[in-house]
Every structure is written in structure tokens, then in C-alpha cells.
A = this chain, B = another copy of it.
Amino acid sequence: MNERLFRAARLLAMCLPLCAPVAAAAAGEVDSGDTAWMLTATALVLLMTIPGLSLFYAGMVRSKNALSVMMQCFAITCLVSVLWAVYGYSLAFGDGGELQAILGSLEKSFLVGVDGIAPGGYRIPETVFIMFQLSFAVITPALIVGAFAERMKFSAMLWFVGLWLTLVYVPVAHWVWGGGWLGAFGVLDFAGGTVVHVNAGVAGLVTALVLGKRRGYPATPMMPHNMVFTLVGAGMLWVGWFGFNAGSALAADGIAGRAVLVTQLATAVAALVWMIVEWLDHGKPSALGIASGAVAGLVAITPASGYVGALGALVIGGSAALACFYAVTRAKPAFGYDDALDCFGVHGVGGIVGALAMGVFVVKSLGGVGLPDGVPIGWQVAKQVMGVAVTIIYDGLFTFLILKGIDGTIGLRVTDEQETAGLDIALHDERGYNL
């Protein structure tokens, strides 16, 4: 039995009387409304990766590397899609039998026998469920591009993503959402705070450390080459995130409505807080600042989006902006690692804030949907800490091993000449602009 879905269903039945009539209807049948929304949500999450994220990132690198980050996002999208069909989905969401706590099975590899309804009592075709989950599996490694931008070999990147998806993303997704031990233990993660953002953020930090700094960092100026692209990408991420968070309800119901509302609130507050802090700190608010704050808010509300209310959204958004602001502007320079586009500083830190704060704001008295029967708030927070800690340790370790393995064989980094020339021309024989 799929624990994530079960839990969500349980919470729903407990806490949202409004949705009861919906949930009661026609179990085991596909519902066209839910399916319509999940098809849309899937398209929105794909919009987040390409073009959204690729544009967000492309604008922040130097013009000589703009295509390389977009190419990485495209290649990741393609590679992960195929691996997901071949074994990823089955290992993450298939029935693992005796080993269910640890991993799914290969019974649905190559998408055999997925013509029925989605598992877990949801009223959408399994094909749609697979696609929605695929879109998450795609964006998670794509986020890591922000950490290793401007210096990683393209071939090494492909190996890294393939291995990381298999050894890190698939098991963690299974543990939390696919019926594995973290979900069974009671860790809550509505739309991917730990599975997606902490996971990507920590992998990004490790990658940045193992790969080392870009040539000339931080002495040479490495300004974003096209901030308009970055802002447009941020806008697309925001819009697409509605699919990410409200789609995680796996239905077009009151939970989805709640998710979309708290997502908007948390994002807006986070953007404003970042803007204000920057204004106080530096004397002027910046466009990259407000966009960064928005992304930090989107990240932090993700694990909480179906569970908390307006108050939770405001606090989570605000504190995520503060935490990410200081991570990016103070901690990064202080420690001196080169997380080029702040994959860890925004996704890692924001994801941790959201995953933990959610344990508090899920309670009814703070506007949330309420905790499962009998779970005290402290205990839920402890579970959330557990979920985050496990992800950090497991992810950190395996990311490190994978990178070392690749480095020892084909090598991780481009040559100095290639880096100086820019990856676009050096690795892809193309240039972004011929004006």
C-alpha cells in the first residue's frame, strides 16, 4: 500500500470535511476533473524545467555558458524521462513486497501494465500519475545544474545524473512517497521539500565542493549576463509551481485549492522579505533579489503546501527568505565554496526551513489541516528533523561517492582552456548569440 497516498487520503478524510463528498464519490473510477487537473499540473511542472529553470539559470551565467546550462537541463529532461520509464518509476512506486520499506520492485519496469487507475485510491489513470512523478524526477537533478554550472564536462554530467537518479532520487522518493520507511515513520512532505529540494540542494553543495571553484572565482566578476531571462525564468517557475504544489493533491479539490493559495502567499511574503532585507542591508532592492526571494518562498512552502494555512504560509515564506538571504550573501562567501547559482543556498536551505516549519504549522490551531490523530506537535517536528537528516546524510554520502567515481574514471571538469573559452563553444561548438 502506498503510504504517501494513504496518508494524504487519511489527512484529508480527517481534516477537510469539505472534501469528503468528493472523496466519497466513485472509488476506483477515473474522474475527468481530477485527470484534467493532473494533466495540466504535469504540463506546468515540465514548464518549470524547460523553459523555466533553464532560462532562470541561463540568464545568471556568463554569456559564453548560456547554452551549456540550457543543454544540461534539456539533456537531463530526456535522460531522466527514459530512465523513469525503464525502471525509475517501478523502483520508486512499484510494490516492493518484503523490501517495500527500502525499495519498490521492477514489476512495472518498461511501464508494463500501467493502463489502469493510479495506485492509492486516486481517481486518475496510472499513466497520468507516472507522468506527474516523472516531471518531479526530471526537475530535481536539473536543479543541481545551478551548483556545477560553467565548469562540468557534459559527459560527466550525464553519468552523474543517471547514477544520482538511480542511487539517490529513486530510493528517497520511495522512502517518503512510495511506501517506504520514512513515510511509514510519519515524515510528511506534501510536494517535495525533502525529496526534491533538500535532496537537490545537498547534492548541489557536495558537487560544488568536489568540483571546486570556477576559474577566477571570486576575484573575476561573474555577473548574470541577461537578467531579463532570469526574471522571465523566475516567472515561469512561479506559474509552474502551481502545478507542482497543487498537483501534489493528485486531485482538483479543496486540498489543491489550499495548496495554491498558501503557495502564492508564502512566495509573495518571501519575495517582499528578501527585498526589504536587501534594501536595509545594501541600500537598494534588486530584481534578482526579489526573484530569489520568490524562489526561496516557493521552495519552502513546497513540503507544507497542502497542510498549512495562511499563517503558516506567511511565517514559512518570511523565514525562508531570511535564511536563504543569509546563506547566499553571508555563508557562501564565508565558507568560500562556489555554488554558482545557489542551488544549496536557495533549494537546500529553503527546503530545510519548509520541511521543519511545516511540522509546527500543520496543527489546527495555527490554521493547518491538523496532525494525524494523537501525534503531538513535538513528535511531528522530530519526525521532520529525521526526514531531513536522513536525506542530508544519505544524499551527501552517495553524491560524493558518485562524483569521486566519475572523477576517477572520465573526469568531472573541463580543461582550463575550455572553461576560459566557455562551455558553449568548447563543448557544443555553438554560441548563444550572433548579433
Residues of A within 8 A of B (CB): 16, 18-19, 21-22, 29-37, 39-40, 42-44, 46-47, 50-52, 54-55, 58, 62-63, 66-68, 70-71, 74-75, 77-79, 81-82, 85, 110-111, 115-117, 124-128, 130-131, 134, 154, 223-229, 231-232, 234-236, 238-239, 242-243, 246, 251-254, 256-258, 260-261, 264-265, 267-269, 271-272, 275, 282, 284-288, 290-291, 294, 309-311, 314, 424, 427-435
Contact = CB atoms under 8 A, between A and B. Distances in A.
A413 to B, nearest CB: 17
21 contacts: A18-B30, A18-B116, A36-B252, A39-B257, A42-B242, A43-B243, A46-B238, A67-B228, A74-B231, A74-B271, A75-B275, A78-B268, A78-B269, A78-B271, A78-B290, A79-B268, A82-B268, A225-B434, A226-B434, A287-B428, A287-B430
B128 A50 contact: no
A286 B310 CA distance: 46
A32 B34 contact: yes
A111 B309 contact: yes
A430 B294 contact: no
A435 to B, nearest CB: 5
Contacts of A269: 78, 82
Contacts of A282: 429
Contacts of A232: 51, 54-55
A435 B225 contact: yes
Given A79-B268, A115-B254, A238-B46, A227 B32 contact: no
Given A32-B37, A85-B310, 11 more contacts: A33-B252, A36-B40, A37-B39, A39-B260, A74-B235, A82-B314, A85-B265, A111-B310, A284-B427, A285-B428, A287-B424
A35 B257 contact: yes
Instruction: Give the secondary structure class of A's interface.
Output: helix
A256 B35 contact: yes
Contact of A54 (B231, B243, B264, B272): B231
A237 to B, nearest CB: 10
B435 A433 contact: yes
A298 B239 CA distance: 21
B71 A287 contact: yes
A290 B51 CA distance: 14
Nearest to A369: B115
A294 B231 CA distance: 24
Residue in A33, A125, A253 with the greatest tally of chain B CB atoms within 10 Å:
A125
A178 to B, nearest CB: 18
A22 B18 contact: no
A74 to B, nearest CB: 5
Contacts of A18: 30, 115-117, 125
A286 B67 CA distance: 9
A433 B37 contact: no
Nearest to A44: B43
A134 B33 CA distance: 23
A35 B67 contact: no
Given A54-B231, A231-B54, A290 B63 contact: no
B30 A31 contact: no
